[in-house]
């Protein structure tokens, strides 16, 4: 059940997703990275759409694009709607982009009614969520949350350009990065619409879902050490084969994560010395662990560690897991979740599916400065970070209706509260 105009509005949003996909550094796929010429170009195009939606635009010192419309009096704290416009290499058209363009569309639909809202309405297009260029994700939203790190200025891209040089070339002043930070009292909350990037909504036959929390990942580098020896001359009792041991570790990682309803992935594995006629003496691998709750994730990490040690000890191998990244999970705000639920319910899905996000999002960083909530839109077969990312016109239409209704529910509860 969608409003009469929703399909027309959704068509406009999807056409704009296509238009932004054309602003790409890659002739064969979509690729738009932080502080690039394509980043400047999409900000320019999106700013024109924000302007048309009645928003006053500005770009902050982290390259994030903002649009604002005052509420019933000037200077009220803002409800911010948004997502990101940067992409992974060989990306789809909707990851992040759909959230920004839906936010602009909701602002446009609210039109003159926005001046009755008990808050200002802002739309943000974050500049760097994926971390494709400088291998550090969430730079744009971290700057907004006041969590910019000085060491980021010296990070380099593949061609050796620093973040500092790229920012200056983009027309930003690194000395003024602090100005991108928003103060908690300026903000009421943050709502992000995003494609699910997983298959759960599709499996449940739902167009939309309410996000309960965003998982924080822990990542490790693993090393299994055995002994490299001649493949022909070394009988089995004498072998300390690091690759066979690591393979058992990989299987244990999958088994334990499944048993505990978490997610753990070995995405990279390399055997050394890597000769066809040499028993591998060393294996290096990556490990990424996620769960709905940090405590459960940490328990899973402990179980993986014990299993890895046990499996390797039985083969005369040693194993080390070194932590290289740890992010805290973020819980979506209860009141904002209720507004998102009410928004979806207004479209006819009385009891919306609730799910936790296995993927990271800008909302994680923004949560440090204001309450956040998210609305997921079904994507075909859960495919994302790939060119064949797909959403349907009908789902985008119902998403716009729900997003707008959620904003109006925040206004209602804010008035009543």
Q: How near is the Cβ of 314 to Zn ion at its closest, in Å?
A: 42
Q: How near is the Cβ of 96 to Zn ion at its closest, in Å?
A: 4
Q: How near is the Cβ of 163 to Zn ion at its closest, in Å?
A: 20
CA angle 165, 158, 142 (to 5 degrees): 60
Binding mask of the shown chain, residues 45 to 84, with x at each position contacting Zn ion by CB under 5 A: ----------------------------------------
Closest CA to 20 of 52, 43, 51: 43
Site for Zn ion in 240-269 (CB under 5 A): none
| CB-nearer residue toward Zn ion: 95 or 409 | 95
Report residue 94: phi and psi, to 5°. Answer: -120, -25
| CB-nearer residue toward Zn ion: 95 or 196 | 95
| CB-nearer residue toward Zn ion: 214 or 307 | 214
Decide: is 198 part of the binding site for Zn ion (CB under 5 A). Answer: no
Task: Measure the CA–CA gap between 220 and 321, rounded to whole angstroms.
Answer: 6
| CB-nearer residue toward Zn ion: 291 or 362 | 362
Strand partners, 367: none
Task: Measure the CA–CA gap between 381 and 200, rounded to whole angstroms.
Answer: 9
Closest CA to 81 of 114, 53, 104: 104
Tell me, by CB under 5 A, how many residues bind Zn ion.
Answer: 2
Q: How near is the Cβ of 149 to Zn ion at its closest, in Å?
A: 21
Q: How near is the Cβ of 60 to Zn ion at its closest, in Å?
A: 19
Task: Kindly tell me the sign of the dihedral angle through the C-alpha atoms of 386, 95, 323, 164.
Answer: positive
Site for Zn ion in 81-100 (CB under 5 A): 95-96
* Residue number closest to Zn ion, CB atom: 96
| CB-nearer residue toward Zn ion: 342 or 363 | 363
Q: How near is the Cβ of 377 to Zn ion at its closest, in Å?
A: 12
Q: How near is the Cβ of 384 to Zn ion at its closest, in Å?
A: 8
| CB-nearer residue toward Zn ion: 96 or 371 | 96
Decide: 208 and 395 in contact? Cβ < 8 Å: yes
Give the helix ranges, DSSP H, for 69-222: 97-110, 139-144, 163-169, 200-203
Task: Measure the CA–CA gap between 14 and 92, rounded to whole angstroms.
Answer: 12
| CB-nearer residue toward Zn ion: 377 or 402 | 377
**Phi-psi bin for 250: left (phi > 0), alpha (psi -120 to 50), beta?**
alpha
Strand partners, 377: 195, 208
Binding site for Zn ion (CB under 5 A): 95-96
């Amino acid at each position: 059940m969608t409003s009469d105009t929703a399909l027309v509005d959704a068509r406009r949003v999807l056409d704009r997703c296509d238009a932004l996909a054309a602003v790409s550094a890659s002739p064969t796929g979509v690729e738009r990275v932080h502080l690039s010429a394509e980043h400047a170009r999409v900000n320019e195009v999106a700013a024109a759409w924000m302007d048309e939606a009645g928003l006053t635009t500005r770009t902050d010192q982290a390259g994030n694009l903002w649009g604002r419309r005052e509420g019933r009096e000037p200077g009220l704290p803002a409800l911010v709607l948004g997502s990101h416009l940067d992409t992974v290499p060989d990306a789809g058209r909707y990851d992040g982009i759909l959230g920004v363009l839906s936010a602009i569309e909701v602002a446009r639909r609210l039109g003159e009614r926005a001046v009755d809202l008990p808050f200002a309405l802002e739309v943000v297009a974050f500049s760097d969520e994926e971390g494709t260029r400088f291998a550090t994700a969430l730079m744009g939203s971290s700057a907004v949350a006041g969590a910019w790190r000085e060491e980021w200025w010296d990070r380099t891209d593949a061609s050796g350009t620093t973040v500092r040089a790229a920012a200056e070339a983009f027309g930003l002043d690194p000395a003024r990065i602090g100005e991108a930070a928003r103060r908690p009292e300026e903000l009421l909350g943050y709502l992000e619409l995003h494609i699910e990037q997983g298959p759960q909504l599709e499996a449940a036959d739902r167009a939309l879902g309410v996000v309960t929390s965003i998982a924080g990942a822990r990542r490790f580098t693993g090393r299994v050490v055995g002994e490299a020896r001649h493949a022909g001359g070394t009988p089995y009792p004498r072998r300390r084969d690091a690759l066979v041991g690591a393979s058992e570790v990989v299987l244990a990682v999958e088994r334990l994560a499944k048993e505990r309803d978490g997610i753990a992935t070995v995405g990279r594995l390399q055997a050394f010395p890597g000769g066809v006629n040499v028993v591998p003496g060393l294996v290096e691998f990556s490990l990424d662990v996620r769960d709905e709750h940090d405590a459960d994730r940490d328990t899973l990490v402990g179980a993986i560690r014990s299993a890895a040690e046990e499996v390797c000890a039985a083969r005369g191998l040693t194993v080390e897991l070194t932590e290289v990244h740890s992010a805290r999970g973020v819980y979506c705000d209860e009141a904002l979740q209720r507004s998102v639920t009410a928004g979806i319910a207004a479209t006819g899905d009385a009891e919306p599916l609730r799910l936790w996000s296995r993927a990271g999002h800008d909302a994680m960083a923004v949560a440090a400065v204001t309450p956040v909530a998210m609305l997921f839109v079904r994507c075909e077969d859960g495919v994302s970070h790939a060119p064949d990312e797909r959403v349907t016109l009908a789902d985008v239409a119902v998403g716009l209706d729900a997003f707008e209704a959620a904003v109006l529910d925040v206004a209602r509860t804010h008035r009543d509260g």
